[in-house]
């Protein structure tokens, strides 16, 4: 009995020891598991390479490459461009998540070398979310988004369209082929220049003097803006995505950006100083004549609230650049794409002319107020925006962690809304690859950032502040060019031969310019 009792006690002790070890092991494993980072559920995407990540997959036309990848990985996918996580949204649903549901999270922007160097970060396009972005947008919105102010400057848009029509009429009379891009760039550039500084108006002083500034050299300014859009493409600078490679400047981008920024400042400096001198000369009689004067007045206003960010020389330059870049290249590109598509579809041009003749007649030009009564013209514009958004990728930057459609997205992730992909998504658009303006007749889809299947001007906190003005320029210009002239491809080019290849940059344009032979279709006295 003694033996059995001792054996029993020894067995109990062993079991207790084993149980204690088991508890200790479980506790240890629990603690270790808690300390280890939990595997996050992230959106699907391709496996990245060392150092460069998925940069090799973007190709020369990134939005098209990303569209192809989305068909494999889904409407919300995660890539790594260098060492930077990049979230790509390719459907109206996921675009809404980024631009509306989590708009506050994704309100910032990743700042590349170009954005940091240009005017010392004064331009709003690349500005991170903060006091300067909010204040700068308020300034631009108060001048470019208020209907009363837009309407008060309609005479500028009309005068510049008349100049365009006159140039085209001369080309028609001489039977000269017309390269439309050059004429459109001059139109949009001239409108932007006069918004900034209307050289056709003067400031009258109390002693009878008339003061006016010289016209801005828009040819040179357009060249600078074109270079900006070329330098600002998604993959133009490897150092933007692999920061430790930036000092080596393997592509020479840093050097180009530095030189470009200096050239741009040297161009704008005398323009600003001329306006400052005119303000001083006019004294109490000074009346602002364009946005540059408005910016300078705000910069010198002693009554500005202390909480406002100082409107420095570089920030004034940044605002000037935002006005020009937002009002020239984008409008020109949209009009050019519209004509590319119309050239391929002669029946579209005939339907547009039939509507114009029926609503407007042939005894006057189209006015901006007429557009509401020209649904087919509006539909051509919408269909152009759908198939050929000039800004193909809307970049945002997450300022904090968030959950997106069940996926975890970390702070510091760049999001790209692929507007090009959304516009060609067959789940949302019937015969998505075809140019069919008729699809918008009777449709309530708008382009003002409320419908996430159409985002030509963006949406949310970073939507283009001058979208209404840009839309008026594009609509009225297209309507009057179709109303005033018959357009025929020159050089024996047939409609089916028109190329739709793209040139990629911050904005996307047709790779090949079309040449037209035109003839007037209205009475001579209207030209």
Tell me the per-residue pLDDT of 46-70, one tens digit each, with 9 for 90 and over.
Answer: 999 999 999 999 999 999 999 999 9
DSSP state letters, 102-126: TTTTT-B----HHHHHGGGGTSSTT
Residue 496, class by beta-carbon neighbours within 10 Å (0-12 exposed, 13-18 middle, 19+ buried)? exposed
Q: What is the pLDDT of residue 206?
A: 66
User: Cβ distance 470 to 330 under 8 Å?
Assistant: yes
Q: Which two tokens stand for residue 131?
A: 């006091």
User: Cβ distance 522 to 484 under 8 Å?
Assistant: yes
More confident residue, 316 or 308: 316
Q: Say how far apart CA 447 and CA 117 lie, in whole Å.
A: 32
Q: What is the pLDDT of residue 201?
A: 76
Sequence ranges of the domains in the chain: 113-334+344-391+456-526
Tell me the per-residue pLDDT of 263-310, one tens digit each, with 9 for 90 and over.
Answer: 999 999 999 999 999 988 888 888 888 999 999 999 998 887 777 899
Q: Say how far apart CA 473 and CA 467 lie, in whole Å.
A: 10
Q: What is the mean pLDDT of residues 229-238?
A: 81
Q: What is the pLDDT of residue 419?
A: 97
Q: What is the pLDDT of residue 182?
A: 92
Q: What is the pLDDT of residue 1?
A: 41
- The correct CATH number of 113-334+344-391+456-526 out of 3.40.50.970, 1.10.630.10, 3.10.450.50, 2.30.38.10 is 1.10.630.10
Residue 298, class by beta-carbon neighbours within 10 Å (0-12 exposed, 13-18 middle, 19+ buried)? middle
* Radius of gyration (C-alpha) of the chain in whole angstroms: 29
Q: What is the pLDDT of residue 4?
A: 47
Give the percent of the chain with pLDDT over 90. 76
User: Cβ distance 429 to 92 under 8 Å?
Assistant: no
Q: What is the mean pLDDT of residues 336-355?
A: 97
Tell me the per-residue pLDDT of 426-485, one tens digit each, with 9 for 90 and over.
Answer: 999 999 999 999 999 999 999 999 999 999 999 999 999 999 999 999 999 999 999 999
Would strands 84-89 and 414-418 be described as parallel, antiparallel, or unpaired? parallel
Q: What sign for the dihedral angle of Cα 304, 308, 309, 314? A: negative
For residue 154, give the 3-state DSSP assignment.
helix
Q: Is 203 labelled a binding residue?
A: no
- Asked if residue 11 has pLDDT above 70, the reply is no
Backbone torsions φ then ψ of 387, nearest 5 degrees: -80, -30
Candidate from 38-42, 132-136, 320-324, 439-443 with smallest mean pLDDT: 38-42
Mean pLDDT estimate for the chain = 90
DSSP state letters, 413-452: -EEEEEHHHHHT-TTTSTTTTS--GGGGTT----SSSS-T
For residue 391, give the 3-state DSSP assignment.
coil
Name the β-bridge partners of 503.
Answer: 509
Spell out the residues 6+ positions from residue 504 whose beta carbon is closer than 8 angstroms to its own.
60, 61, 62, 63, 233, 234, 392
């Amino acid at each position: 009995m003694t033996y059995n009792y001792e054996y029993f006690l020894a067995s109990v002790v062993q079991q207790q020891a084993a149980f204690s070890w088991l508890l200790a092991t479980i506790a240890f494993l629990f603690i270790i598991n808690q300390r280890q980072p939990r595997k996050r559920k992230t959106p699907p995407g391709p496996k990245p390479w060392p150092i460069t990540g998925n940069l090799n997959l973007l190709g020369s036309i990134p939005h098209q490459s990303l569209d192809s990848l989305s068909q494999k990985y889904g409407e919300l996918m995660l890539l790594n461009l260098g060492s930077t996580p990049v979230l790509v949204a390719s459907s109206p649903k996921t675009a809404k998540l980024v631009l509306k549901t989590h708009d506050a999270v994704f309100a910032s922007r990743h700042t590349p070398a170009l954005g940091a160097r240009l005017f010392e970060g004064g331009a709003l396009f690349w500005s991170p979310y903060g006091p300067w972005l909010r204040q700068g947008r308020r300034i631009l919105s108060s001048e470019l988004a208020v209907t009363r102010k837009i309407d008060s400057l309609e005479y500028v848009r009309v005068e510049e369209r008349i100049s365009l029509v006159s140039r085209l009429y001369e080309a028609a009379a001489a039977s000269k082929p017309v390269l439309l891009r050059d004429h459109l760039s001059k139109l949009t550039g001239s409108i932007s220049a006069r918004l900034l500084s209307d050289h056709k108006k003067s400031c009258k002083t109390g002693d009878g003097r008339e003061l006016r500034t010289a016209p801005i050299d828009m040819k040179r300014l357009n060249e600078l803006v074109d270079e900006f859009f070329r330098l600002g493409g998604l993959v133009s600078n490897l150092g933007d995505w692999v920061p430790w490679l930036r000092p080596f400047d393997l592509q020479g981008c840093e050097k180009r950006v530095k030189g470009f920024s200096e050239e741009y400042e040297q161009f704008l400096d005398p323009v600003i100083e001329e306006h400052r001198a005119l303000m001083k000369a006019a004294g109490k009689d000074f009346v602002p004549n364009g946005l540059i004067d408005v910016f300078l007045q705000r910069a010198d206003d002693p009554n500005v609230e202390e909480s406002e960010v100082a409107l420095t020389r570089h920030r004034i330059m940044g605002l000037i650049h935002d006005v020009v870049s937002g009002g020239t290249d984008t409008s020109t590109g949209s009009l050019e794409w519209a004509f590319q598509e119309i050239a391929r579809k002669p029946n579209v041009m005939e339907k547009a002319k039939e509507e114009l003749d029926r609503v407007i007649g042939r005894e006057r030009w189209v006015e901006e107020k007429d557009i509401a009564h020209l649904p087919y013209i509006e539909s051509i514009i919408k269909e152009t925006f759908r198939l050929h958004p000039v800004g193909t990728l809307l970049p945002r930057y997450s300022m904090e962690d968030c959950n997106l459609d069940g996926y975890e997205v970390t702070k510091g992730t760049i999001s790209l809304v692929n507007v090009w992909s959304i516009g060609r998504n067959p789940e949302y658009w019937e015969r998505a690859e075809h140019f069919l303006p008729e699809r918008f007749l009777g449709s309530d889809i708008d382009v003002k950032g409320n419908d996430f299947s159409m985002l030509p001007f963006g949406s949310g906190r970073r939507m283009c502040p001058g979208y209404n003005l840009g839309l008026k320029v594009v609509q009225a210009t297209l309507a009057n060019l179709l109303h005033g002239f018959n357009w025929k491809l020159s050089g024996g080019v047939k409609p089916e031969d028109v190329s739709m290849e793209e040139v990629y940059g911050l904005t996307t344009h047709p790779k090949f310019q079309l040449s037209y032979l035109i003839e007037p279709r209205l009475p001579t006295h209207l030209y």
